[in-house]
Amino acid sequence: MMKKTSIMFVVMLATHFMYAQIAMPQPSPLSTITQKIGLVDASIVYSRPSAKGRKIFGDLVPYDKMWRTGANKATKLTFSDSVSIAGHPVPKGDYALFAIPGKSEWTIIISKQSELSGTSGYKESEDACRFKIKPYTVPAVETFTIGFSNLTIQSADIEILWETTAIKFSVATNPDKQVMKNIDAALQIPARNYYQAATYYLENNKDMSKALSWINAAIDGGYERYWVLRTKALIQAEIGDYTGAIETARKSSEMAQKDGDDTYVKMNDASILEWSKKKNK
């Protein structure tokens, strides 16, 4: 039994070492870069090969052939909201960045096939957009680099550099549209909240003019109830607007009577009598 156990242990140990991977530096290390563009979170995940004395474009990276725009797995772009890339609308999501380099012109392809290992399996029908762009010359860049540049409050450029060649294209957002949505959402205070704020001010003898504006906002916002009108009448009376208070109290009574709430009818009737005497002084 002991012998069998020892053999099994040796087999398990050998299997472990057979499949264990040795951690080593990668020739084209993975890089992730993130950037806020306007209100959109953008990220690029790509591998970074180095030139190592080799001629790159037109040789290692052939002209007029699709390139994964980096090494290993295809470069991945992610946008948290819709953007415009070189003038083309692109919905939020994950995309692969492919390129077809040329001597005087490149084709950039933004593909919905974001999980491809390279160009194998690519389908043009899955393009989110494609466009042409002119390369330009830069001082020598040893390691393939993609980054964000020329940032504004609503746009940025994605810049690709390697060897002495560079290209860049714009990514534009629409922060104004989102900001307006945020403003609208922030201002959508429930009408009942205005009523509660006005009631608190009334009960704690605070600024009655502000309380009146809040109770009016509650009513204008669709929260017109006989108890809300009762509160408004009390606020108006505190301000000294007895005419307005009487008119509001009468409306409150009518609504309370229809609802069968005699308590509010009696309270309003008593207040109307009191305010009529103060009004006539």
Q: What is the pLDDT of residues 58-82, one digit of tens each?
A: 999 999 999 999 998 899 999 999 9
pLDDT tens column, 135-169:
999 999 999 999 999 999 999 999 999 999 999 99
Domains held by the chain: number: 2
Work out the average pLDDT over 273-280.
Answer: 89
State whether 135 and 250 are in the same domain: no
**Band of the pLDDT at 185, cuts 50, 70, 90?**
confident
Is residue 187 predicted with pLDDT exceeding 80? no
Domain that holds residue 268: 189-279
Mean pLDDT score of the chain? 90
Helix-helix angle 226-239:262-279, to 10 degrees: 20
- Tokens matching residue 214: 């809040």
* Segment among 16-20, 53-57, 95-99 with least mean pLDDT: 16-20
State whether 200 and 260 are in the same domain: yes
Query: Cβ contacts of residue 99 below 8 Å, gap of 6+?
Result: 66, 67, 69, 106, 107, 108, 109, 160, 167
State whether 30 and 140 are in the same domain: yes
What pLDDT is attached to residue 216?
A: 95
CATH of the domain at 194: 1.25.40.10
Domain boundary, last residue among 123, 147, 174: 174
Residue 5, domain member (yes or no): no
State whether 94 and 214 are in the same domain: no
CB 111 within 8 A of CB 90: no
pTM, two decimals, is 0.63
CB 32 within 8 A of CB 43: yes
Query: Taking Cα atoms as reference points, which of 247, 251, 273 lies closest to residue 264?
Result: 251
State whether 33 and 132 are in the same domain: yes
Within 10 A of 273 (CB to CB), how many other CB atoms are there? 10
Whole-angstrom distance, CA of residue 63 vs CA of residue 19 = 39
Residue 269, domain member (yes or no): yes
Residue 12, domain member (yes or no): no
* H-only helix segments in the chain: 2-19, 175-187, 191-203, 208-220, 226-239, 242-259, 262-279
Query: Cβ contacts of residue 64 below 8 Å, gap of 6+?
Result: 100, 101, 102
State whether 107 and 195 are in the same domain: no
- Residue 106, SS3 per DSSP: strand
Residue 199, domain member (yes or no): yes
CB 85 within 8 A of CB 169: yes
State whether 130 and 215 are in the same domain: no
State whether 124 and 250 are in the same domain: no
